[in-house]
Each structure stands twice: as C-alpha cells, then as structure tokens.
Structure 1
Amino acid sequence: MPELPEVEVTRRSVAPRLEGARVRAVRTGAALRWPLGTEPASLVGLRIGPLQRRGKYIWLPLLDDAGAVQGGLLLHLGMSGSLALLDAAPAPGKHEHFDLVTDAGTLRLTDPRRFGAVVWSPALDAGMAARLLARLGHEPFDPALTPALLRERLQRRSVPIKTALLAGDIVVGAGNIYACEALFAAGIDPRTPANTLSLARCEKLLAAVRDTLARALELGGSTLRDFRDAHGMSGAFQDQAGVYGREGQPCHRCGSTVQRLVQGQRSTFFCAKCQRR
C-alpha cells in the first residue's frame, strides 16, 4: 500500500507541471471507493492550484480565472494505486479509472484493486474531504507534535506501540514498513504497550519516525510490489531496511536473527535483542 512517503513523492513528481494547468476534460471509469461527487463537466475550464498532501491524501484545489477556489479533488491511491502524468495518454486499460486531462498533460489514476478514490469537495475542510480527514493525527514533521504530546496521546492506549502507530490518529505516515523501521531505530519492541513508554522513549521514537520518513522521501519511497512515481521511477528505501522483510536474516547491529510476528493482520519485523519492551 502506498504510504506517506510514496504519496508525497507522487505529489512532488506531478506538482510542478500541474499547478496552473487548465482542466480540459475529465474521464471516469469503473466506480472507485466513493463517487466523484460532482458532474465531470463542471470541472472543465478550471485551473489547478498548489497541490497539498494530508496524510495519504493529495488535494488538488481548483480555481477560476480570478483565482477563487471552486472546490477541489481529494485523491487516495488505495492499496495498489498510482498516478502518472502523461503527455500523450493512450486509450485507458481496464485498471485505469480516472483521467484529469489538462493542458499540461493527463493525470491518470491506475488502481487494479479499486480501493482508491477521487472525490470532489467544496474545500479541504468541508464536505467529503473534511469527513475523510477528520480522524487523521498530526503530520510527522509538524513542530506541534512534541515528545510530550506524543506521550500524552499514547497514555490513552494499552495496545502494542506498533498498533498505535499504524492507527494514524496520533501521527500519520508511520505505515507498516516505516513503523517497523522506526521502532528498530528507537530500540523499542513492537509489542510494548503504548501507554508504558516513558518521555525519553517517546523522544527517541518521534526522532526515529521523522528520520525514517525523511530517508524514505530521499530514496523515493518503497517499492515492494508495483509502486512508481508519476515518472515511472521506483523507490529504493526497501533496499536499506534494517528489519523489514528480513525474517531469518542476521540483524545488521547485533547479528541476532530478525524475527517476524503478526500484529493486526500485518507482518511485524524486529530484533528481539536490539529492541526492548
């Protein structure tokens, strides 16, 4: 599943060309998770404003010629979706469910499993967009997210810390691979009850989450199956993973065997020697 780094890499790969582009046509294919929410023809003629990301969503504001916001499109890549910005778009295939045709190229959503979404809303803080974003936690690089605040929020959770990170309502962006890697970097066992972490351990964890996501952004995200950015480039973070996907292999730090367990139907990889409860 594309996580925050992959979504941000995608946003960065399309934003320079799309911002200021005029919408020429909109094509919808097979139904996605939610309906578009407006007539496609109502978007034609509008211009695309500065693209934003919130969690794993991309927001494309739409402006009239006077620069006034006329709503926007909230995009989610689902489990297996990807965006491409095409100069000359070929006829869509069966997994290509949305085209935003602009004078800067065609933004095409490909989503084999159709868990993704393209939804119109009157604003980022109104309509369907507001409902979808309401439960999201802090952005990981938000200065307002301090170790003390993280500990305060975790005090309410008795679930394992890995589960608390994946929930996304405390901090967004720590998807499965990045939660595993951040916990390894912080030396915290993924089974540790979230409400037992001290302030010092929360400080280490928050720093590890930020460092892990920053490295993932530098490396173009992770390509475990088929993720590509809008230019078709794969991510390389998975090649530098300390524990993720390395079950049975020696830990890079101590030489112990990397272990795997299942938490919330997701695989968790960790080193029992380096990571303590």
Structure 2
Amino acid sequence: MTLTLSGTSAVKAAGARRPIGVLVAGALLGLVVLAAALAPLLAPYAPDAIDLSSSLVGTGREHLLGTDSSGQDLLSRALYGARTSLVAPLLLLAVAGVLGVTLGVLAAWCGGWVDTLVSRLTDVMYAFPGLLFTVLIIAVFGTGTTTSVLALGLAFTPTIAKYTRSLALAEARKPYVDAYRVQGMGGARICARYLIPNLGRSVLGYLVVLFGEALMSLATLSYLGFGAQPPSSDWGLMVQEGQAAIVQGAMLPALVPGTAIALVVVCFNVVGVWAADRLGRQ
C-alpha cells in the first residue's frame, strides 16, 4: 500500500521536523532572555556593587563566575548586561526596518527619478564602511547607547532598503495590485494595507538574520568606547574593562562577557537562518 500526502500536509510535516541545532540554539536563547528578564531575582549582587577586597577573585561559592578588577560580581553584571545587549539590537533593527522598508517600497512603487534617487543614496552610504559611518556620526553627536543605536540604525538602512526594494518590485507586479488600482484605490493605501503586509514575513526573517550582526556591532562600539559608558554592564563594555586584567592572569573578566556575546550571536545566526527560510515561504 502506498501512502501519499497532499502538498500542504507535506510542507507541514517537513516544517515540523526542526534540526536539532535549531532546537538547541533556540533553547539557549530562551534561557538567555529568561535570565535577562529575571536578573533582579537571579543576580546575587547589585551589578554596580564594588568590593575592592574581592578584586579579581576566581570562581567560588560567593562569586560563581568570579569578579572583575573592582570586585564587581561577573555573574550579576552579565545578567544585567544581557538586558542592554538584547534590547539595543531590537531598537536598532526597528529604526533600520522602518527607514529601510519605507525607502525600499517608495523606490519600487514610484520608480523613475525616485527610484534613481533612493538607489544613489543607498549606494553613497554603501561607499562608507558601516563602522566608519557610525563613528563619524558619534563624533558629531557624542557617545552613548542611544547615539550608537541611531547611528547603526542608519548604517543598516541601505541593506534593508535594497532587500525590500527587490521584494516590492516583484510584489507590485502581482494581479491584485492592478485590481485595486482599477477600483480607484490610491497607491499609498495599497502599499500600507496590502503590499507592505505581504512583505512582512520575508522582511521579518531578514531582520532576524541581522540581529546577530547588530548585537556584534553594538558590542564593538562599546568595546571601542563609543557605545555604552560606565557604570553600564553592557557586554561589549565589560570585555573592554576586563582586557587589562588579562595581563594580571585573570581571564574571566573578559572571557565571561565575550563568551556571552559569541554564544548569543551564534545561536541567533542558527535560528535566524532557519526562521528566514520558514518566513520567506509564501
């Protein structure tokens, strides 16, 4: 006897089988998010509590992950730092997503000189390395997490705009768009109510893939001293502050936040690629 599945059932059956790597990465991300949310309950000490008598203490019962040069508990700082390190990339991608989707849809829908103008604008922004472009903005408006988020949001905008434009060009040629035009519906209304929502899944999948890069970029700025400032527990800043302790033979102050960054970035890349593939299927 031969059993067959319909097309829809086959897709659902295939989608139900998630790779073990995706499940593990998703579980780790879930634990990180939960730990960040429950940081006030899980952290054994306040993240800014200084105890010079416990400077550079190794792992033990009182300090599970050791302390930094100021005697601050690394576990507590890492838990609180997860909040900034996870929320800031979300805000960055929100800024870049709004600007990028708007420019991409505008260029695809209007065409002509508008498309040319948007394309040239994004090409000019591509001419500058993203980090250099961000540092130039920070040099003008000052350091800080807010400035870093906005600056990197602008740096990520061209990539999202070009991706959205390619999707919107194909979507705008579909029959339903012509049908709404015949009914007398305006272009802005068609884009807002139908075209952009239809692009939502693909754009969301792309943003998930970019999350790891956004987190790494923000951590890099904090490490260089342009992003989060003391006494923040941002992971990138913690790596920068722990670098000096390496000379004294203490690896944990830099290793703990560095490992956290690497773990979250890798997990988001694994989950992001899988999510982009799933969300991109229309």
Q: Give TM class, smaller chain.
A: under 0.3
Higher fraction of helix: 2
Larger radius of gyration: 2
The two structures have a TM-score, normalised by structure 2, of 0.24
Calculate the TM-score normalised by the size of structure 1.
Answer: 0.24
Structure with greater contact order relative to length (CA < 8 Å, sep ≥ 6): 2
